[in-house]
Structure 1
Amino acid sequence: MDWLGVHFISELPDSGQVVLHCTHNPVLVLLAYLVACAASFATLDMAERVSHVEQPTSQRLWRWVGACCLAGGIWTMHFIGMLAFEAPLTIHYDLSPTLLSLLIALIAAWLAMNTLSHQQLPLWRCAVAAIWIGLGISGMHYVGVSAMRSSASLYYQPLLMGLSLLLAIACSLAALLLSRHLREGSGMFHQLLKYASSLLLGGGIVLMHFTGMWSMTLVLPAGSPAVPAIPDEHLQLGLTLSVIILLIIGSGISAALADKKLQHKERDLRRVNALLSQLDQARMSLQQVAHYDALTNLINRRGFNQLFAEKLMEKTRYGGMLAVMFLDIDHFKRINDSLGHDAGDELLKVIAGHIKSSTRSHEDVVARLGGDEFCILLTLHERDEARHMAQRIMHRMKEPIELGGRRMVMTTSIGISVFPDDGKTCEELLKNADLALYESKDSGRNNLHFFNTSLKTRASLELQLEEELRNALRDDQGLLLHYQPIYDLKHARVTKLEALIRWQHPQHGLLSPDRFINIAEANGMIAELDNWVLRKACQDLSFLSQQGRDELKIAVNCSALNLTREALATEIQSALRGARVAPQRLELEVTENALMGNIASTLALLQQIRELGVSLSIDDFGTGYSSLAYLKRLPLNTLKIDRSFIQDIPHSTQDMEIVQAIIVMAHTLHLQVVTEGVETLEQQRFLERYGCDYLQGYLLSRPVPLQDLHRVLDELDQRQDRLNPVLSNPGTGGPGSPDPAPGGPVLHAGASTVQLIR
């Protein structure tokens, strides 16, 4: 079979001269091998480049660059291999078949690069592509061989031709598989493996070429002389082609390397940009966290202070008014204690929405400073705008809120300070608004107050008193006890004293408890203050015993805050032991609100105190919210009726009925009754008639210091002795005087006597 002047699968002719002694130039063979290795390396490198390029346009570009390098390398290797062929003939090459072989090589190379562009390369796809690429390379080889022109004819051995085709397919498959493996990876070992693979593939390509050349036989017609070729011309041409193709391949590899580095830089730049973007987002998140409250999404204290400083600077420079409004939710702690903190958080969200909706969205700044405390910064034209805003918020707050299956209405206390009237700095305005807020709380809550200078004066005084009270407790100077007698109607004598603390202040004189007890409670000093009173009272009891007053008991008041301390019983025991006083001579007075605050823990503590032998009295009865169901369980000895029920007796029939009912109830519970605030004989006679056990008030004596107590007690005893004969004749009480109750003397005193005592 003849095709393009080449005889395929034909027997050699009988006539003709067979060219037996054909050789190859070893230098050109080595050059062909080097070109094949370079082409193989370029193919592997371009395949790796294509797999890492992200843009489709760049992928197409590098596919063509790789195809050109591979096609040019294989074709140049083939041509140099043909130049290396040395036969005793004059050989030249036809241009058309040569260019056609180059086109076939380019098609095969493009097919190879296109196959390597797929992200997934299963074995079957590699096998199919290898067959087509192998056929293309073989076609390129044999078409290129057909371009050889000489006086000899070409004959091929079929087996060797088939072997060369198989070698081309195998070489193509190996190239595809190696490229699939090598396109992912980096490092020195990866690069060495790529070099080794290039040498192996280059050897395979050269082997395929020379196997094809091995299958070829040249036959000279009979009588044709053999003319030796000029090998130097072939060597020079081969070297020229090698240099050209190696430069082309090197340029392609260099371009791929440069593009790879550029892409790495672009990736690094994108990574840096991504990191910068993440940092910006993190910075914004941190700023959000740093300047906004996570629960309500309002500005927090730090963000508010920053905005406040900016607005204050603006108003200071250009003029204008600002209002700082402090809001505190009334009795918010009850929500957390009863419904839990989750319900409290939900309530805060609703309240924040109410406050936000009541303000001007673009002009006012609403912040949550912490807990249930909110702050609003207002731009004002006149002072009343702040009042109207506060009233609008208070009205909005009165809307019922659904929470935990309940409908509740919350109220708020508001304090307002105005720039520049109430301060020129952020700290001063905030402090003054806070003072106004506490004034609203002290006024009964659900109220609003503007700051005024008297609040600052009072706050400064309270701060000064706080510091001086600490010093007085630490140095045990200035604090003293006054004692007010408590008269026993049954035994007709003074049997108890109530210890009342006073403070002899160096500047303000003698201060009553209402001036400093609240300060002690608000600043954590009440336990120390109560303990001082307890120890001092026990010491005074010991002193009274030395003066012959063994029958006297002392009643000591206990703060509601101190009643929650488990150490109270131990402190009482320690004070009694230190003064060597019998526990029965001490009575502890607690208010009914303190008793009902936490009945379970209070009951356990009172049981411990009663086991010591100390008596217990409920003070100011009738002013709180006692529950009789709990009251009967408490280990009490005495009930003290508050002075507010005595003041209008005998003019108030209602008060008289209330006091009578309290006395009956107390006796039913086996409690003794003390009535405080008794100032007139009519009040004393009424109480005696209805069975009151003890009297206390100005009718007997004002509270006096310990050094004056002995004299007051002696005067009361002497007065009682003088009145004993009168007591035997009830009619001497004067016209219209009520009869004394049976079983108890009446402490009669004329107007002059009462005036003397008071």
Structure 2
Amino acid sequence: MDWLGLHFITELPHSGQVIVHCSHNPVLVLLAYLVACAASFATLDMAERVSHVERPASQRLWRWVGACCLAGGIWAMHFIAMLAFEAPLEIHYNLPQTLLSLLIALIAAWLAMNTLSRAQLPLWRYAVASLWIGLGIGAMHYVGMTAMRSSATLYHDPRLMGLSLLLAIACSLAALLLSRHLRDGSGMFHQLLKYASSLVLGGAIVLMHFTGIWAVTLVLPADSLPLAPAPNGNLQLGLTVSVIMLLIIGSGISAALADKKLQHKEHDLRRVNALLSQLDQARVSLQQVAHYDALTNLINRRGFNQLFAEKLMEKTTFGGMLAVMFLDIDHFKRINDSLGHDAGDELLKVIAGHIKGSTRSHEDVVARLGGDEFCILINLYDREEARHLAQRIMQKMKEPIELGGRRMVMTTSIGISLFPDDGRTCEELLKNADLALYQSKDAGRNNLHFFSSNLKTRATLELQLEEELRNALRDDQGLQLYYQPIYDLRSARVTKLEALVRWQHPQHGLLAPDRFINIAEANGMIAELDNWVLRKACEDLAHLSRNGRGELRIAVNCSALNLTREELAEEIEDALRQAQVAPQRLELEVTENALMGNIASTLALLQRIRGLGVSLSIDDFGTGYSSLAYLKRLPLNTLKIDRSFIQDTPKSTQDMEIVQAIIVMAHTLHLQVVTEGVETPEQQQFLERFGCDYLQGYLISRPVPLRELHRVLDELDRCHATGGFTARAAARDRDESGSLDLFPDSPEPHADASTAQLSR
């Protein structure tokens, strides 16, 4: 059977000569294998490139480049392998049929690349595609064989032809599956796998070609003789074709690599642009977070400081006035404690809206500095503008606020400093506005104050006193205890002393407690100060015992802040143990307001102290907000009537009735009564007549240091023996007129009169 001059079923003729001495040039065979491997690698690389490009036009371009590389490689491999064939014949090739074989190879290659450019296909689709591609490669091979021109006739073994076609189909299927597997990989292993696959595919293509050559039998006519092979240029032609084809394939691979790098750069550029866009958004968000308060959406401290510096520079350069206004919400902590922090946050939002609505939106800067503190920066022409704005804010705050099902009205305290009158730097103006704010709070809150120079002087003095008080406590220098006798009306003797702290300051002289107690409480030193007083009083008790005054007891005052510390009971026990003093000789005085602050925890602490054997006294009774229901639950021994109720007796009938009622109530609760501020014999007689237990005041004695206490006590004993306190009062009057000075080192009368009841 003949087709296109191919004899693949026809039997060999009985006459004629079969040429059996045929060979192949090993150099050209190696070149053919090299071209086949290069074509295989180009096919795998182009398939990967087609799957990675995004634009359809680029996909079509690389599909045709891959098809040309594959078709040219397979055809060049076939042509070079044909040139490698050496037989004792003169062989040449028909050009049209050779070009036809190239066209068939191009069609098969395009079909292969079109299949590879698709997304994942089912396996049967790859099988069908490999069948057509394999048949196309086989057709290319056998059409190329028909291009051979010689005196011999070509006969093909149909079994070997079928085997070569099967090899072509199998090779096509392997190429498709490998390409599908390798298109999405990356890295060194992926590249090595691609190289290995190219070598295998190249070998399979060469094997298919030489299987087809193996199927060929050359038969010369019976009357012709084989000729010795004449010298030809097959080697040079094969080298030329292989070099050209390798250059074409290499150019395609290089172009694909360059396009891949360019695409990566485009991806990197898009990613960089996306990152830059995200960074811009993040920068805006960070700027919002860094310069604005998340809760109220007002400017925060950082943003305020930046705007403040800019406005200050503008005013310094071009002139003008600037006001800094500090606002603090009065008693805001009560909202958080009673309704919770969520309700407090909602309240802050409403208040921020009130403040913002009271200002000029384009000219004034409103900031939340933290917590319930707000600050406003105002451009103004005179200080009254700042006052009017502050008054508008205070008026706006009076509007009821609905919160947690309740209607409430909040108030604010405001402090104002002015540029350039009160400072020229941000720090100075803010500090001065803060000082004015605290003046508004000290004046009763719901108020406004402008900064004045005396505030700065006072703040500087308090700062200096704070540092010096801290040093005095650390070095145990300057602090002293003064003792004021407490007279027992029943035994007609001094049986108790009240310990009162004084500070011998190197510049300011002897300071009464009202000069430094508030400083200690505000700066966390009150616990250390109270502990020093407690230990010093216990040591002095031991000293009095050694000097014949073992019957005396000492009352020590306790700060309200100290009643919140659970360690207080252990400190009292430790001070008594170190001084070796009986607990019954110590009395702890607390104010009624301190007791009512947190009655539950205070009651537990007082019961522990009472369990040690220490007596308890309620000081300044009648000046606070005591509840009788709580008073009867407290483990008290003594009640002290404040001097404000006794100073107008016996002239004031109302005060006398109040004092009489307190004494009766205290005795009903089984409490002993001490009256402070007794200064006249008439007051003594009134109190003695209505059953008061103890007297304390200038009629008895001023507070004196320990070194003078023995002399004072001895004198009191003599006064009682020689006429009581009437003679004592006369002696005191002579002392005040200058004829007699019983207490040369004691503080001034008016200072002690105002501070004798202070609890230190």
Contact 2:719 2:728 in 1 (8 A): no
Q: Which residue of 1 aligns with 2:199?
A: 199
Q: Which residue of 2 aligns with 1:557?
A: 557
Equivalent pairs counted in the alignment come to 735
SS of 1:325 mapped into structure 2: strand
Deviations for 1:399-446, whole angstroms, at most 9, x for unmatched residues?
555666655544333222222111112221122122112212212223
Shift of 1:591: 0.4
Deviations for 1:425-472, whole angstroms, at most 9, x for unmatched residues?
222112212211221221222322221101001111112222232343
Contact 2:415 2:435 in 1 (8 A): yes
Q: What is the rounded CA distance, in whole Å, between the counterparts of 1:668 and 1:373 in structure 2? A: 49
Deviations for 1:338-389, whole angstroms, at most 9, x for unmatched residues?
5555655555555555545554555444444444433333333432333344
- Are 2:22 and 1:23 aligned? yes
SS of 2:232 mapped into structure 1: helix
Shift of 1:538: 3.9
Q: How does 1:561-580 map to 2 (within 5 A)?
A: 561-577=561-577
Shift of 1:686: 4.9
Contact 2:487 2:694 in 1 (8 A): yes
Contact 2:130 2:173 in 1 (8 A): yes
Distance 1:297 1:16, change over 3 A: farther
Q: What is the rounded CA distance, in whole Å, between the counterparts of 1:546 and 1:164 in structure 2? A: 128
Contact 2:587 2:617 in 1 (8 A): yes
- Are 2:149 and 1:132 aligned? no
Contact 1:681 1:749 in 2 (8 A): no
Q: How does 1:428-447 map to 2 (within 5 A)?
A: 428-447=428-447
Q: What is the rounded CA distance, in whole Å, between the counterparts of 1:749 and 1:595 in structure 2? A: 39
Distance 1:751 1:703, change over 3 A: closer
Distance 1:231 1:162, change over 3 A: farther
Q: Which residue of 2 aligns with 1:6?
A: 5
SS of 1:595 mapped into structure 2: helix
Stretch moving more, 473-482 or 42-51: 473-482
Q: What is the rounded CA distance, in whole Å, between the counterparts of 1:109 and 1:354 in structure 2? A: 79
Q: Which residue of 2 aligns with 1:738?
A: none
Q: Which residue of 1 aligns with 2:502?
A: 502
Q: How does 1:120-269 map to 2 (within 5 A)?
A: 120-148=120-148, 156-216=156-216, 232-267=232-267
Shift of 1:645: 3.3
CA RMSD across the alignment:
3.8
Contact 1:8 1:158 in 2 (8 A): no
Deviations for 1:653-679, whole angstroms, at most 9, x for unmatched residues?
654554443333222211122232345
Q: What is the rounded CA distance, in whole Å, between the counterparts of 1:161 and 1:648 in structure 2? A: 138
The amino acid that maps onto 1:613 is G
Q: What is the rounded CA distance, in whole Å, between the counterparts of 1:10 and 1:712 in structure 2? A: 150
Q: What is the rounded CA distance, in whole Å, between the counterparts of 1:474 and 1:562 in structure 2? A: 19
Contact 1:42 1:69 in 2 (8 A): yes
Q: What is the rounded CA distance, in whole Å, between the counterparts of 2:107 and 2:399 in structure 1? A: 83
Contact 1:699 1:757 in 2 (8 A): no
Distance 1:709 1:89, change over 3 A: closer
SS of 1:374 mapped into structure 2: strand
Contact 1:71 1:108 in 2 (8 A): yes
Distance 1:144 1:580, change over 3 A: closer
Q: What is the rounded CA distance, in whole Å, between the counterparts of 2:708 and 2:193 in structure 1? A: 111
Q: How does 1:636-655 map to 2 (within 5 A)?
A: 636-649=636-649, 655=655
SS of 2:501 mapped into structure 1: strand
Shift of 1:122: 4.3
Distance 1:413 1:591, change over 3 A: same
Q: Which residue of 1 aligns with 2:375?
A: 375
- Are 2:307 and 1:315 aligned? no
SS of 2:624 mapped into structure 1: coil
Shift of 1:631: 1.9
Stretch moving more, 378-387 or 151-160: 151-160
SS of 1:31 mapped into structure 2: helix
Contact 1:97 1:147 in 2 (8 A): yes
Distance 1:198 1:567, change over 3 A: closer
Q: Which residue of 1 aligns with 2:600?
A: 600
Deviations for 1:688-742, whole angstroms, at most 9, x for unmatched residues?
4543333333454444445555565566556655668xxxxxxxxxxxxxxxxxx
Shift of 1:593: 1.6
Q: What is the rounded CA distance, in whole Å, between the counterparts of 1:721 and 1:690 in structure 2? A: 23
Distance 1:681 1:186, change over 3 A: same
Deviations for 1:238-264, whole angstroms, at most 9, x for unmatched residues?
332222111111211222233334444
Distance 1:650 1:131, change over 3 A: farther
Distance 1:386 1:182, change over 3 A: same
SS of 1:634 mapped into structure 2: coil
Q: Which residue of 1 aligns with 2:422?
A: 422
Q: What is the rounded CA distance, in whole Å, between the counterparts of 1:652 and 1:231 in structure 2? A: 152
The amino acid that maps onto 2:464 is Q
Distance 1:424 1:153, change over 3 A: same
Q: What is the rounded CA distance, in whole Å, between the counterparts of 2:581 and 2:128 in structure 1? A: 112
Distance 1:168 1:654, change over 3 A: farther
The amino acid that maps onto 2:135 is L
The amino acid that maps onto 2:600 is A
Q: Which residue of 1 aligns with 2:745?
A: none
Q: Which residue of 2 aligns with 1:517?
A: 517
What's the % identity of the aligned pairs? 83
Q: How does 1:67-146 map to 2 (within 5 A)?
A: 67-85=67-85, 93-146=93-146
Q: What is the rounded CA distance, in whole Å, between the counterparts of 2:383 and 2:350 in structure 1? A: 28
Q: What is the rounded CA distance, in whole Å, between the counterparts of 2:735 and 2:495 in structure 1? A: 18
Deviations for 1:547-584, whole angstroms, at most 9, x for unmatched residues?
65555433222111223333433443444455554433
Shift of 1:526: 1.9
Q: Which residue of 2 aligns with 1:61?
A: 61
Contact 1:39 1:73 in 2 (8 A): yes
The amino acid that maps onto 1:509 is G
Q: What is the rounded CA distance, in whole Å, between the counterparts of 1:626 and 1:497 in structure 2? A: 25
Distance 1:212 1:575, change over 3 A: closer
Stretch moving more, 247-256 or 713-722: 713-722
Q: What is the rounded CA distance, in whole Å, between the counterparts of 2:366 and 2:649 in structure 1? A: 53
Stretch moving more, 684-693 or 434-443: 684-693
Q: What is the rounded CA distance, in whole Å, between the counterparts of 2:295 and 2:506 in structure 1? A: 49
Q: Which residue of 2 aligns with 1:744?
A: none
Q: Which residue of 2 aligns with 1:693?
A: 693
Q: What is the rounded CA distance, in whole Å, between the counterparts of 1:86 and 1:542 in structure 2? A: 132
Shift of 1:202: 1.7
Q: Which residue of 2 aligns with 1:615?
A: 615
- Are 2:470 and 1:467 aligned? no
Contact 1:15 1:222 in 2 (8 A): no
The amino acid that maps onto 2:636 is L
Shift of 1:474: 4.0
Q: What is the rounded CA distance, in whole Å, between the counterparts of 2:298 and 2:198 in structure 1? A: 67
Distance 1:298 1:57, change over 3 A: farther
What are structure 2's unaligned runs of at least 5 residues? 737-760
Report the TM-score when normalising by structure 2.
Answer: 0.84
SS of 1:232 mapped into structure 2: coil
Q: What is the rounded CA distance, in whole Å, between the counterparts of 1:481 and 1:406 in structure 2? A: 51
The amino acid that maps onto 2:109 is A
Shift of 1:489: 3.7
Q: What is the rounded CA distance, in whole Å, between the counterparts of 2:596 and 2:231 in structure 1? A: 122
Shift of 1:109: 1.2
SS of 1:503 mapped into structure 2: strand
Contact 2:17 2:222 in 1 (8 A): no
Distance 1:712 1:199, change over 3 A: closer
Contact 1:16 1:219 in 2 (8 A): no
Contact 1:482 1:706 in 2 (8 A): yes
The amino acid that maps onto 1:641 is I
Stretch moving more, 240-249 or 567-576: 567-576
Q: How does 1:264-413 map to 2 (within 5 A)?
A: 264-267=264-267, 291=291, 298-338=298-338, 344=344, 347-348=347-348, 351-352=351-352, 354-400=354-400, 408-413=408-413
Shift of 1:165: 1.9
